[in-house]
Structure 1
Amino acid sequence: MRRTNSKISTWDTLSRLLRNHNHNHKYKHSHNQVFINFRGKELRCSFVSHLVEAFKRHGINFFIDKHEQKGKARKHLFARIKQSRMALTIFSKRYAESRWCLDELAKIKESADKRKLQVVPIFFKVKADSVRYQKAAFGRNFWKLARTSSGEQIKKWKEALESVSDKMGLSLGDN
C-alpha cells in the first residue's frame, strides 16, 4: 500500500469488509459491531483515534476499552468481545508488552474458532511474520512478558498470535 493513499485505501478496505459482513449478518443495536483490540499506550492518540472518528462518521458501532480500568472488569470486557461480530486486532511493536492485549487476543481467537467472530488483523508498523513467529522488536517484547507468565498462558498467547496473524488483513506504515 502506498503511503500517500494509505488513509483512503485503509478506510476503503475496512469499509468494504464491514459492509460485506453487515450484509451477511443481522445486528442487534445493543451489540457491538466491531471490537477494537490494540495497545493503548502506543496507538490510542494516533491511528486508533482516526479509526474511531471514521467509524463514528460512517455510523459503525464499535467498542474500545477506553473507559475500562487496566486489570479491572475483565469479565465485562470479555462479554463485549462475545457480543461483537467482528474484531480488529491492531498489532504494533509494543502490543506484546501487554498481558491485557494478549488476554483479549486469546478470547478473540476463542470466539473466532467457534465462528462467532470475524477477525481482521492490522499490522501497524510491524511485519506479520514478526507477530506470527514472535520475532524482532515484537518478539522481544513478547518473550520479556512471557518470563513472568505461566506456560499455559504463553501457549494460549502464541496460539492466538499465530492464528490471528495468519488471517487476511492489512499492513500499514513502515514495516
Structure 2
Amino acid sequence: MASPYSSSSSSSSLLDPSRRQYDVFLSFRGIDTRHSFTCYLHDFLRRKGIDAFFDEQLRKGNDLVALLDRIEQSKISIVVFSENYANSAWCLEEISKIIECRERFGQVVLPIFYKVRKSDVENQTGDFGAPFESVDESFPGFQHRVPAWKEALTTASNIAGYVLPEKRYFSLHL
C-alpha cells in the first residue's frame, strides 16, 4: 500500500530512532477539529512535554511530500477521525501512509473516533462514507488511490482506540 508520494528518506528515518523528529503526528480534518478537539489535544500533549506535529504551517496547496515525511519522522500517529475526514484526499493519503508505517516499521497508531461511528469509518458508510459514493467527483485524479484508502481506513478502524460520541463532554486533564 505504498503511497505515490513516498520520499527517498522513508526507510532510513524509521529504522534509526535517533532520526525521528516528533513524538506524535496528529492526523485530522481541520474543518472539523482544528479549533476544538485537536487544538486542545495538541496543547495537552505540549504541556506534558510531548513533541507533536500539528499541521499549522503546511496548508492545502503546499507540498504533500513534506507532510508525509512528518509521519515517517514520528514515533506515534494519532488519527482523529471526524465526519469530514474522508472528504480530504490529503487526510486519506495521511492515513494510508500511517498504516504503511505501522505495517513496515511498527509505528504506534491511536485512532480517535470524534463524533463519528467506528463502523462508518470501517465500512466507509453514513456521512463519513459519502465521498466514496461518487469517487470521480470527490477525488478527481485520485480515483486509483481509493482502494488503498479504503483498506487503510478499515485497518485503522480495527486498531484499539477511543470513541468520543457527539454528546459526550470531554476534558483533557489527565
Unaligned 5+ runs, structure 1? 1-25
Check whether the contact 1:87–1:118 (CA below 8 A) recurs between aligned residues.
yes
1:60 aligned counterpart, secondary structure: coil
TM-score by structure 1 length? 0.79
Q: Which runs of structure 2 are paired with 1:23-38 in the superposition (5 Å)?
A: 28=18, 31-38=21-28
Question: Does the alignment pair 1:156 with 2:148?
Answer: yes
Question: Does the alignment pair 1:84 with 2:74?
Answer: yes
Structure number with higher helix proportion: 1
Match in the other structure for 2:87 = 97
Match in the other structure for 1:128 = 118
Q: Provide the alpha-carbon RMSD of the alignment.
A: 2.0
Check whether the contact 1:85–1:116 (CA below 8 A) recurs between aligned residues.
no
User: 1:108 aligned to 68, 73, 98, which one?
Assistant: 98
**Alpha-carbon distance between aligned partners in 1 of 2:142 and 2:65, rounded to the nearest angstrom:** 20
1:69 aligned counterpart, secondary structure: coil
Count of aligned pairs between the two proteins: 150
**Alpha-carbon distance between aligned partners in 2 of 1:139 and 1:32, rounded to the nearest angstrom:** 31
Question: Does the alignment pair 1:172 with 2:148?
Answer: no
User: In 2 relative to 1, CA 43–72 (structure 1 residues): closer, same or farther, beyond 3 Å?
Assistant: same
Deviation at 1:151, TM superposition (A): 4.3
Unaligned 5+ runs, structure 2? 1-15, 168-174
* Comparing 65-74 and 144-153, the one that deviates more: 144-153
Identity %: 35
TM-score by structure 2 length? 0.79
**Alpha-carbon distance between aligned partners in 2 of 1:63 and 1:164, rounded to the nearest angstrom:** 19
